[in-house]
Chains A and B, each alone.
Chain A
Amino acid sequence: MGNWGAKVSQKGYDVKTCADRFLTFSSAFPTLKVFSTQAVSTTIPTSGTNTITITHNLGYFAPYLVVYNGSSTTGVGTSNLMSDNDSYLTTYQYANNLQIPVDEYFDQYSSSQGDTVYFTVYIFLDKLESYTSNIISTATASGGSSNNYGFKISKAGYDVKTCTDEQLVMSSSFYSALIQKKGLLTGSSVSHGLNYVPSILVYEYDSANSRIQTNNLSLQNLHYVTSSSLYYDSSVGTGDGIYYIIFKNTS
């Protein structure tokens, strides 16, 4: 395979010399692609569970993020990532849908039964299959450049010249979620080779129920990431492993 391709650095970095993580785009590294975004809501029941079901029909496990935007009692001015004000959000993703069960104890110290609760849900297109990108450069030097070059691509239906930053598919003014490695970890660790602590996403795999999930058990002590590896404790949760994405991003 020839050494061909394209890459775009973030504003302020020299595309020829900067480390991988300072690229906005490279044809050598997949980016996390947003399949759908949705605002959904339900009510906190007095008993039992109200389940929000979002059908995606992807036919496979895909990464996702759920933000709790608040309730009738708390208002919607402050949002929590993957939690209410008291504990983890429980979420289940099956091959064709994502479920958010809301029971009578949801946000119990901040909201009330009967409240409407609001969520923003991101489902990504990328399949959680095994994949590893090449590592081209993990240099710590930024390769800084004062030249203000770049590119931007707007979402369908928006004028790239006038749309807001949020309405862009990609822009070299911002960093992207470049994927270093992804897959199912059933052993105790997987190395990533980046030599720094990267950003990650993890989901517990529940083979008996054919789903991936987040809940109190699945994230407590189940994982941690270092500058060399992602670690998994199979004694916690289902023991079936974790689906993970390791990004090139760090801070």
Chain B
Amino acid sequence: MANWGMKISRDGINVNTGADRDMVFTSKYSCLKGSLSGSGSKSVSNNGTVATVTIPHSLGSIPMVQGFFSENNVNFQILPYFNLLSGGGLFTQYHHNVEADSTNVYLRFQITELLGGATNYTVYYKYFIFIDKGKL
């Protein structure tokens, strides 16, 4: 294989002598390539029923994907999120995760408050789907 390609160093780094990790870009290493991204909200019943957001991706393979969720559309946390919280007399079980197959990405949200709470909660989400394969 010929030694070809391109690399660009970051500010203050000599492109000829700098480490690959200090390059802004080097064709020696590939980048994650984003295909789709989006956001939205989903009503989730407070009874353990799984609420699923289905996102078709048309990639034909299982992709790498990242997801985030928020309860107030302000503070976002990384998915997955599995937790049992206690506070204010309530015990709340969260089971939020990200799945993907060769057709769709699935954001699954499940909330169970064992001692009451609202009937439904709105969960806000963001997702990033990459061309890069999540299953090699």
Chain A positions within 8 Å of B, measured between CB atoms, are 1, 6, 25-35, 37-39, 65, 67, 69, 76-83, 85-88, 118, 120, 122, 125-127, 153, 155-157, 165-166, 168-171, 174-177, 197, 199-202, 216, 219-221, 223-227, 231, 249-251
Residues of chain A within 8 A (CB-CB) of B101 are 77-79
B38 interfacial contact with A, CB 8 Å: yes
- Please report the C-alpha to C-alpha distance between residue A118 and residue B128 in the assembled complex, in whole angstroms: 23
Q: Pick the contact of B75: A78, A79, A225 (CB < 8 A).
A: A225
Q: Are A176 and B32 in contact (CB under 8 A)?
A: yes
Q: Pick the contact of B37: A25, A85, A175 (CB < 8 A).
A: A175
Q: Are B100 and A170 in contact (CB under 8 A)?
A: no
Q: Pick the contact of A199: B8, B35, B68, B136 (CB < 8 A).
A: B68
Q: Pick the contact of B83: A155, A220, A223 (CB < 8 A).
A: A220
Q: Pick the contact of A81: B33, B38, B66, B132 (CB < 8 A).
A: B66
Residues of chain B within 8 A (CB-CB) of A169 are 27, 29-31
- Please report the C-alpha to C-alpha distance between residue A1 and residue B65 in the assembled complex, in whole angstroms: 38
Which residue on chain A has the smallest CB distance to residue B127?
A: A251
Interface string of B84-111 (1 = CB under 8 A from A): 0100000000000111111000000000
The count of chain B contact residues (Cβ–Cβ below 8 Å) is 58
Which residue on chain A has the smallest CB distance to residue B33?
A: A174
- Please report the C-alpha to C-alpha distance between residue A169 and residue B79 in the assembled complex, in whole angstroms: 26
B123 interfacial contact with A, CB 8 Å: no
Residues of chain A within 8 A (CB-CB) of B61 are 166
Residues of chain B within 8 A (CB-CB) of A226 are 74-76
Interface string of B113-136 (1 = CB under 8 A from A): 000000000000011100111111
Which residue on chain B has the smallest CB distance to residue A78?
A: B101
Query: How far is the CB of B101 from the nearest CB of chain A, in Å?
Result: 5
Q: Are A31 and B131 in contact (CB under 8 A)?
A: no
